[in-house]
C-alpha cells in the first residue's frame, strides 16, 4: 500500500461530533514549521480568517480565505497539500459575514467536505473542486460549524445553526446528505426542517450516534435573557413533511447569560458541558454548566470568565476552559475547574497564576501576566502527554503541562510557536493552525502517493494509474474509481504549484 494511514485526520471543530477537543496523539515539535501556505495557485497572497480552525483529511487541509484578484476580493475554500503546503485546488464561496470563524467539516462516508460562506453551505468532493451541492439558509452562518450525524438509525444528516445574535429568528437546520432511495425522498443538500432556537451566534451543534440526538446551545430569546440548550432527535417522524421535531428537553441557564459557542458531550457519563459569555462583570461574568444529556437536568453551575469556547474534559474530574478578552474588565485566561457529581469550583486561572503586579496598583494590567486562551479560541488536550495546546491574543501557541491539580500548580510552557492566531488541529504527527503569515504545519510530512512504487511522486504515477498498473486505490477506500484519479490529479497539481514556487525563489 503506497498511502500511509497513520497520517490521521481532524474532521471537524473540536475533533469529533461530541466536540471533545481531545487527541490520543502527542503534539509534534514546534521548533520550526514544516511549511507555511500563504499564496494561492496564481501566487496571490491568501488572507485566512485569523481565529478560524481547519479541517484535515488524509491528504489535504481544508480552510477558507480571501484573495485580492483583479476583479475584487474573492473568497474560496482551499484544499492544501499536507505534504507540500501548496494549494491543490480551490472553489469560490460567498464572503463570510461578521468575520465568521467557521471550521469546515469532513463527511468521511460521503467523501466530501462542507464549508460555509455568507448564508450558504457548500458540499465539495474531498479530492477535487467538484461542488456536490450548495444550500442557502435564512440567515448568515456566523462562527457556527456543522456537525455530521451518521448512525445505523437512518440516512446521513448535517446539522447547522444560522445567525440572529440579538433577535429571535435563528434556527437549527437538518440537512439531508445521502442520495435519494426508497426510504429517502430527499436530494443531498435538501433542508428537511428548521427548528426555531431563538437568538443564536456561534452555536455549533454536537451529535451522539448512540442515542441519535443532536444537542445545540443558543443565546436565549434576547441577549439579556438566559441561554438555552436543546436536545433534538436527529431522525424524527416529521422529517419527510418538513415539520421540525419538538425538543426532547430544553435547559434554561440559571443566570441571564447566553451561550455563544458550542458544547461538549460526554455520553458515557451522561453529561454535557457548556460555558456562557456575560457582557459585564470582570473575570467572573460567565458561567460553566454541566447538565445531563438524557434529561437536560442541571448537575452544577460555576462562575467563569466569559467564553464561547468549548469546555474540555481532563482526567481527575477536571475541566479546561479557554476564556476572556483583553478589555471590558476581562483578561484572556485558561481556567481549570474541578467537579463532583453535584458541584464544581474554579481550581486555577492562568492570568492570576502568572500575574506579577509590577506597577503595584493591585490591578491585573496588560503585560503583567502571560495570556493563554481567550473567548474565541479552541484549545486541544493531548491524553498521550497530558498537555494542552492553546493560542492567545499575543499570537503565541503554547503547549502547557495539564498536570494542574491545585491553585499552586505551576504554569509550565513545554514548548511554543510564535505568530499563530487560529485554533490548532491535530492529524497524525502533524499540527496545523492559521497564523499571521499563512496556514502553518508542524511535524513530519505525511507519506506520499506512489502508484508505480518507484520511490518518487510525479506524472509517471498518473500514467501508471491510467494504464491500470500499480497501487491504484489512492484514497485508500478499498475501491478503484474516478475518485482516486481526481485525488491523484489534485496531488500532482499541488506538487507542480510547489515546484513553480520553488523555481521563483
Ligand atoms: Ca498592576
Ligand atoms: Ca512514483
Ligand atoms: Ca479508492
Domain map (residue ranges) of the chain: 1-130+422-500
User: Among 25-29, 94-98, 124-128, 218-222, which is the least confidently predicted range?
Assistant: 218-222
Q: Return the pLDDT at 15.
A: 95
C-alpha dihedral sign at 355, 361, 367, 372 = positive
**β-strands 72-81, 87-93: how paired?**
antiparallel
Query: What's the 337 CA to ligand 3 centre distance in angstroms?
Result: 45
Q: Return the pLDDT at 441.
A: 97
Q: How far does CA 166 lie from the centroid of its chain?
A: 24
Q: Which ligand is nearest to the CA of 460?
A: 2
pTM: 0.94
d(Cα 334, Cα 350) in Å, to the nearest integer? 5
Among 271, 275, 402, 387, CA closest to 340: 271
d(Cα 40, Cα 80) in Å, to the nearest integer? 9
Q: Which ligand is nearest to the CA of 367?
A: 1
Among 93, 63, 60, CA closest to 78: 63
d(Cα 403, Cα 405) in Å, to the nearest integer? 6
Residues with C-beta atoms within 5 A of ion ligand 3: 473, 475, 477, 479, 484
Q: Return the pLDDT at 5.
A: 45
Query: What's the 422 CA to ligand 1 centre distance in angstroms?
Result: 29
User: Among 85-94, 284-293, 408-417, 492-501, which is the least confidently predicted range?
Assistant: 492-501
Q: Which ligand is nearest to the CA of 360?
A: 1
Q: Return the pLDDT at 3.
A: 38
Query: What's the 474 CA to ligand 3 centre distance in angstroms?
Result: 5
Q: Return the pLDDT at 375.
A: 94
Q: Which ligand is nearest to the CA of 474?
A: 3
At 7-24, the pLDDT tens digits run 899 999 999 999 999 999
Would you state the cell numbers that stand for residue 287, as one nine-digit string? Answer: 458561567
Would you state the cell numbers that stand for residue 164, as one nine-digit string? Answer: 440572529
pLDDT band at 477 (very low <50, low <70, confident <90, very high): confident
At 151-205, the pLDDT tens digits run 888 899 999 999 998 888 999 999 999 999 988 899 999 999 999 999 999 999 9
pLDDT band at 1 (very low <50, low <70, confident <90, very high): very low
Query: What's the 418 CA to ligand 2 centre distance in angstroms?
Result: 36
Q: Return the pLDDT at 501.
A: 62
CB neighbours of residue 254 within 10 Å: 12
Q: Which ligand is nearest to the CA of 484?
A: 3
At 313-371, the pLDDT tens digits run 999 999 999 999 988 889 999 999 999 999 999 999 999 999 999 999 999 998 999 99
Torsions phi, psi of 316, nearest 5? Answer: 75, 35
- Cβ-contact 332, 374 below 8 angstroms: yes
User: Residue 498: is its pLDDT beyond 70?
Assistant: no
The three state secondary structure string of 264-279 is EEEHHHCEEEEECECC
Mean pLDDT of the region 45-53: 94
Query: What's the 420 CA to ligand 1 centre distance in angstroms?
Result: 27
CA distances from 472 to 110, 475, 483 (A): 20, 9, 11
Query: What's the 355 CA to ligand 1 centre distance in angstroms?
Result: 9
Mean pLDDT of the region 110-114: 96
Query: What's the 90 CA to ligand 1 centre distance in angstroms?
Result: 48
d(Cα 77, Cα 65) in Å, to the nearest integer? 7
Average pLDDT, rounded, for the chain = 93
Give me the percent of the chain exceeding a pLDDT of 70: 97
d(Cα 255, Cα 267) in Å, to the nearest integer? 25
Query: What's the 282 CA to ligand 1 centre distance in angstroms?
Result: 15
Q: Return the pLDDT at 166.
A: 80
Query: What's the 366 CA to ligand 1 centre distance in angstroms?
Result: 8
CA distances from 386 to 22, 27, 321, 382 (A): 10, 10, 15, 6
User: Residue 34: is its pLDDT beyond 60?
Assistant: yes
User: Residue 473: is its pLDDT beyond 80?
Assistant: yes
Mean pLDDT of the region 141-159: 93
Amino acid at each position: 500500500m503506497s498511502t500511509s494511514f497513520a497520517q490521521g485526520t481532524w474532521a471537524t471543530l473540536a475533533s469529533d461530533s461530541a466536540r471533545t477537543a481531545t487527541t490520543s496523539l502527542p503534539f509534534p515539535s514546534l521548533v520550526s514549521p514544516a511549511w507555511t501556505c500563504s499564496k494561492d495557485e496564481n501566487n496571490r497572497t491568501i488572507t485566512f480568517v485569523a481565529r478560524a480552525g481547519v479541517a484535515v483529511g488524509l491528504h489535504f487541509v481544508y480552510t477558507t480565505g480571501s484573495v485580492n484578484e483583479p476583479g475584487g476580493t474573492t473568497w474560496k475554500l482551499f484544499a492544501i497539500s499536507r505534504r507540500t503546503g501548496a494549494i491543490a485546488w480551490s472553489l469560490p464561496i460567498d464572503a463570510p459575514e461578521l468575520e465568521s470563524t467557521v471550521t469546515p467539516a469532513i463527511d468521511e462516508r460521503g467523501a466530501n467536505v462542507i464549508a460555509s460562506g455568507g448564508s450558504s453551505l457548500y458540499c465539495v468532493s474531498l479530492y477535487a473542486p467538484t461542488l456536490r451541492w450548495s444550500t442557502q439558509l435564512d440567515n448568515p452562518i456566523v462562527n457556527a460549524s456543522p456537525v455530521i450525524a451518521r448512525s445505523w438509525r437512518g440516512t446521513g444528516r448535517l446539522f447547522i445553526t444560522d445567525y440572529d445574535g440579538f433577535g429571535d429568528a435563528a434556527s437549527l437546520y437538518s440537512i439531508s446528505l445521502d442520495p435519494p432511495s426508497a426510504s429517502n425522498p430527499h436530494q443531498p443538500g435538501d433542508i428537511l426542517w428548521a427548528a426555531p432556537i431563538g437568538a443564536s451566534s456561534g452555536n455549533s451543534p454536537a451529535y451522539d450516534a448512540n442515542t441519535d440526538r443532536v444537542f445545540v446551545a443558543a443565546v436565549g430569546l434576547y441577549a439579556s435573557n438566559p441561554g438555552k440548550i436543546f436536545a433534538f432527535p436527529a431522525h424524527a417522524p416529521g422529517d419527510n413533511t418538513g415539520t421540525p421535531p419538538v425538543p426532547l428537553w430544553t435547559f434554561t441557564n440559571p443566570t441571564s447569560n447566553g451561550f455563544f459557542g458550542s458544547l461538549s458531550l460526554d455520553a458515557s457519563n451522561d453529561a454535557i458541558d457548556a460555558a456562557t459569555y456575560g457582557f459585564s462583570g470582570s473575570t467572573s461574568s460567565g458561567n460553566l454548566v454541566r447538565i445531563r444529556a438524557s434529561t437536560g437536568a442541571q448537575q452544577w453551575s460555576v462562575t467563569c470568565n466569559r467564553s464561547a469556547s468549548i469546555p474540555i474534559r481532563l482526567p481527575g474530574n477536571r475541566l479546561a476552559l479557554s476564556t476572556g478578552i483583553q478589555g471590558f474588565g476581562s483578561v484572556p485566561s485558561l481556567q481549570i475547574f474541578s467537579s463532583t457529581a453535584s458541584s464544581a469550583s474554579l481550581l486555577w486561572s492562568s492570568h492570576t497564576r502568572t500575574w506579577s503586579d509590577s506597577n503595584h496598583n493591585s490591578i491585573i494590567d496588560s503585560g503583567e501576566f502571560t495570556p493563554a486562551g481567550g473567548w474565541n479560541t479552541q484549545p486541544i488536550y493531548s491524553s498521550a502527554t497530558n498537555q494542552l495546546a492553546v493560542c492567545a491574543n499575543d499570537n503565541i501557541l503554547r503547549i502547557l503541562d495539564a498536570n494542574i491539580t491545585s491553585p499552586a500548580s505551576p504554569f509550565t510552557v513545554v514548548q511554543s510557536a510564535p505568530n499563530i492566531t487560529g485554533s490548532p488541529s491535530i492529524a497524525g504527527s502533524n499540527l496545523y493552525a492559521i497564523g499571521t503569515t499563512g496556514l502553518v504545519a508542524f511535524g513530519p510530512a505525511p507519506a506520499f502517493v506512489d502508484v508505480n512504487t518507484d520511490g518518487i511522486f510525479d506524472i509517471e504515477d498518473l500514467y501508471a494509474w491510467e494504464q491500470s498498473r500499480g497501487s491504484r486505490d489512492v484514497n485508500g477506500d478499498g475501491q478503484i474509481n474516478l475518485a482516486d484519479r481526481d485525488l491523484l490529479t489534485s496531488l500532482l497539481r499541488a506538487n507542480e504549484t510547489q515546484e513553480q514556487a520553488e523555481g521563483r525563489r
